[in-house]
Amino acid sequence: MKALDIVKAAGVALALMVLNVAAAFAVVWVYGTFIEPGQEEAFYQAAAQRIAPWSSIFVGMPLFFGAGWVLTKRKPARNGVAFAAAFALIYAITDVSIIVAAGALASLSAIVVASMTTKLLAALAGARLAAPHRTFLPHTEQER
């Protein structure tokens, strides 16, 4: 991969993070509006702490799969699997850094591992399925 691809992967990771956080807010809003309306603010904040990590997994999987698929199809000359791995790993490093800074890693360690693993596997699956006949290995010295 080229240096510019790493920058692009960071941009994709940031965009996926924004979409995933927005989805978590939407899920908590639906919960507060339709499932448990009329509660105190503290109730919804506590609910968000429980709901958001699970939302991140269940919304993150199709987001990462879709990104791996679309970005591999969009630029077939690029190694889609390596690009998918790059944006998933950049996302994981960023997300775990935020969780550590918030002091929540100890209480969320199992779900964080599940979340990052499912996102990585989904991104790789999307990229691999988008180009099933490609070897994903450099074919010439210049590509290496």
Within 10 angstroms of residue 102's Cβ, the number of other Cβ atoms is: 9
Side-chain half-sphere CA neighbours of 44 within 13 A = 18
**DSSP summary character for residue 34:** I
Q: Are 64 and 17 in contact (CB under 8 A)?
A: no
Q: Are 75 and 129 in contact (CB under 8 A)?
A: no
Indicate the domain borders of the chain. 3-130
Backbone angles phi and psi of 37, in degrees to 5: -70, 155
| Tens digits of pLDDT across the chain (144 residues) | 899 999 999 999 999 999 999 999 999 999 999 999 999 999 999 999 999 999 999 999 999 999 999 999 999 889 999 999 999 999 999 999 999 999 999 999 999 999 999 999 999 999 999 987 765 555 555 544
| Model pTM above 0.85 | yes
- Return the structure tokens found at 14: 């940031």
Q: Are 98 and 58 in contact (CB under 8 A)?
A: no
